[in-house]
Amino acid sequence: MLPAHWQSGAPQPPRYKPPTASAGRRFSMSSPGRMAPQQQQQQPTRLQETLSKIPLCTTLITLLCLILQLCAVCLDWNLNQYSISPAAVVYDHEYYRLITSAYFHLGFFHIAMNMLSFVGIGAWLESKMGTLYFFLTILFSTVMTNGLYIGICYFLGTFAEGKNTREDKCRWLDQSSKSGGRC
């Protein structure tokens, strides 16, 4: 059986036409028998090509995490002030911890692994979902997962045996979260 374009009446594949000087490029002879463009455009590197494919929200969240980590290390910030603490949220009403705890990391390895996985998965998800919907999903899931964690800790602290006073519950919540003492 012959390929379709060899059979009579079938359309022929397009033939290659080399560029000519009339196509808008000027050519000069760089070596005998070889034509090269006078102004060569520099090809992007693999890194530049990869970074250009990362969507906006993924890039901004990654940069936010990296900048916060750099500030935390260089300025010696106390991360217990920003980490999730059920006692601080429930009793001191520090609701900002529901969001800030997701963007601070404990060390270089922690942020490196989180950002590598986030960029890979986040870029794919954002391209499928759209930037605004992806951002709202990140924000919603951050608040909900931290809220669920606090709810579970509060539930366990409320019904734990012998934890009847506010101070006992607060102390138990701080111990369960490993975020330092608030009470």
Separation CA 126–CA 57 (nearest Å): 8
The residue count for the chain: 183
User: Which uninterrupted H or E stretch holds 56?
Assistant: helix 56-74
Give the pLDDT of residue 139: 95
Nearest of 153, 151, 142, 148 to residue 178 by alpha carbon: 153
Nearest of 83, 79, 85 to residue 176 by alpha carbon: 85
User: Which fold, 53-177?
Assistant: Rhomboid-like fold (1.20.1540)
Separation CA 15–CA 54 (nearest Å): 37
Please state the pTM of the whole predicted model: 0.64
Average pLDDT, the chain: 79
For tokens 């934890």, name the residue.
Answer: 163
User: Which tens digit of pLDDT belongs to each residue from 77-112?
Assistant: 998 899 998 889 988 999 999 999 999 998 899 999
Domain spans, the chain: 53-177
34 DSSP assignment: E
116 DSSP assignment: H
Separation CA 28–CA 65 (nearest Å): 50
What whole-number percentage of the chain has pLDDT above 90?
Answer: 45
For tokens 């969001």, name the residue.
Answer: 99
DSSP letters of 127-182? HHH-HHHHHHHHHHHHHHHHHHHHHHHHHHHHSSTT--SHHHHHHHHHHHHTS---
**CB 22 within 8 Å of CB 99:** no
Find the mean pLDDT for residues 18-42. 56
Torsion sign, CA atoms 46, 49, 55, 57: positive
More confident residue, 178 or 160: 160
Type of residue at 19:
P
